[in-house]
Structure 1
Amino acid sequence: MTRLLVCRHGQTLWNATGRIQGQTDIDLDEVGRAQAEQAAVLLAAQRPDVLVASDLRRAQDTAAAVAGTTGLPVHTDPRLRERGYGPWEGRTDDELAETYPEEFRRWRAGQPVRVDGVEDLADVSKRMTEGLLAAAERAPGGTVLVITHGGAARRGIGALLGWPDEIVHTLGALSNCHWSELRSGRYGWRLHGHNLGT
């Protein structure tokens, strides 16, 4: 059995102010750094064998806190990045609702949006699945910790579990520095916990 812990990075200023980050490379804020240090202790107690992170700074800095506690090296995989939101990055919900009313409604309903520069959900699911499976292959039968992003985590988890889009959308968002636990066995991947942490 392989355990896969899929963890969201710590808080950034854009998280705190309700701005869409996407693949814009934002640093952790002071709260996010404290969250990462606190989560590092809890995640170290899970005894991970491997640590893999998105290449964006907020995930790398969160992973660095875990590495400092566990002594594990951080492996980087750009497939674990957040969904690319193109022209939506840096904007708030209110701004999007005003500028892209129909697309914004569809997005909030978990439906596909057709905006140039906004990454297709199927593409996010595909690359996240590839990234998560590649991470899991680093320690078959062990515990693999992945530091990624909220929206990307939801898509990757749903894809590994074989859930259709309408079910994936119902999975609650991961809080900053919280994680989901998946385990693989003879029946494939199964979800054993969601939004774990303190």
Structure 2
Amino acid sequence: METIMYLIRHGETEWNQIRRIQGHSDIDLNELGLRQAEQVARRFQGESVHAVYSSDLSRARETASRIAQNFDYTVSTLPTLRERCYGQWEGLTYEEIRARFENQDEAACGIETFECMQKRAVTALTELAKAHPNETIVVVSHGGLINSFLHFVTSGEQGTGITRIDNTGITKFRFTDFWNVLQVNDTDHLES
């Protein structure tokens, strides 16, 4: 059994552009993000894809829907594919966070632990891979979740704190009884 998974970060939002923490806040794609979604969708034209999944947040759903149109599929949304919850930090810039919460513990601010998000990512993505033996699927999610998964798969050689995942960057995995990374943050579709 082998499953190929294209794990893609959503297109740009206004909050990405001005570096506000989004987390579970439901922010739509901006104009550039919509163009990026169209570009990544064109990248998959002519490919053999069996299903398209997405986080239930609109920025991921909007990106996934462009890809799914290539195949006349409906996007299946899962809250388990959401970004890390950042509690009271959501909507703030890093400078605002440092000023307001300088000495506060993350847990006191309602922030999901990295370990909890990573476990959620590994469980959700492994379940999807097992549900599609010998198929290729597209999953649209968020930079933090993708990086946490990449960190898990590579035992910390890549991922959180190491690897940049750009808006609509494509990271490709193969699942057999274990995960292999085939490609990280492919953005060639954005260069045209």
Could you tell me which residue of structure 1 aligns to residue 137 of structure 2? Answer: 144
The range that moved more, 63-72 or 141-150, is 63-72
Give, in whole Å, the separation in 1 of the partners of 2:168 and 2:131.
22
Could you tell me which residue of structure 1 aligns to residue 128 of structure 2? Answer: 135
Could you tell me which residue of structure 1 aligns to residue 180 of structure 2? Answer: 190
- Following superposition of structure 1 onto structure 2, how do residues 80-95 of structure 1 map, counting pairs within 5 Å? 80-95=81-96
The AA in structure 1 aligned to 2:81 is: L
Contact residue 151 and residue 173 of structure 1 kept, 8 A: no
- Following superposition of structure 1 onto structure 2, how do residues 99-178 of structure 1 map, counting pairs within 5 Å? 99-101=100-102, 113-159=106-152, 161=153, 163-164=155-156, 168-178=159-169
Contact residue 82 and residue 151 of structure 1 kept, 8 A: yes
Q: Using the TM superposition, give the Cα deviation of residue 171 of structure 1 relative to its aligned residue in structure 2, in angstroms.
A: 3.5
Give, in whole Å, the separation in 2 of the partners of 1:93 and 1:12.
17
Contact residue 129 and residue 175 of structure 2 kept, 8 A: no
How many residue pairs align between the two structures? 187
Q: Using the TM superposition, give the Cα deviation of residue 167 of structure 1 relative to its aligned residue in structure 2, in angstroms.
A: 5.6
Give, in whole Å, the separation in 1 of the partners of 2:103 and 2:48.
45
Give, in whole Å, the separation in 2 of the partners of 1:52 and 1:15.
22
Q: Normalising by structure 2, report the TM-score.
A: 0.89
Give, in whole Å, the separation in 2 of the partners of 1:61 and 1:193.
23
Give, in whole Å, the separation in 1 of the partners of 2:110 and 2:20.
17
Could you tell me which residue of structure 2 aligns to residue 68 of structure 1? Answer: 69
- Following superposition of structure 1 onto structure 2, how do residues 22-37 of structure 1 map, counting pairs within 5 Å? 22-37=23-38
Q: Using the TM superposition, give the Cα deviation of residue 47 of structure 1 relative to its aligned residue in structure 2, in angstroms.
A: 2.4
Contact residue 135 and residue 146 of structure 1 kept, 8 A: no
Per-residue Cα deviation, 1:91-118 (whole angstroms, up to 9, x for no partner): 0111112223356xxxxxxxx9444310
Identity %: 33
Give, in whole Å, the separation in 2 of the partners of 1:46 and 1:17.
34
Give, in whole Å, the separation in 2 of the partners of 1:45 and 1:19.
36
Contact residue 7 and residue 171 of structure 2 kept, 8 A: yes
Q: Which runs of 5+ in 1 are unaligned?
A: 104-111
Structure 1 runs of 4+ with >4 Å offset? none
Could you tell me which residue of structure 1 aligns to residue 43 of structure 2? Answer: 42
Q: Using the TM superposition, give the Cα deviation of residue 158 of structure 1 relative to its aligned residue in structure 2, in angstroms.
A: 2.4
Per-residue Cα deviation, 1:21-43 (whole angstroms, up to 9, x for no partner): 00000001111111000100113
Contact residue 42 and residue 197 of structure 1 kept, 8 A: no
Q: Normalising by structure 1, report the TM-score.
A: 0.87
Contact residue 21 and residue 92 of structure 2 kept, 8 A: yes
3-state SS, counterpart of residue 37 of structure 2:
helix
Q: Using the TM superposition, give the Cα deviation of residue 163 of structure 1 relative to its aligned residue in structure 2, in angstroms.
A: 1.8
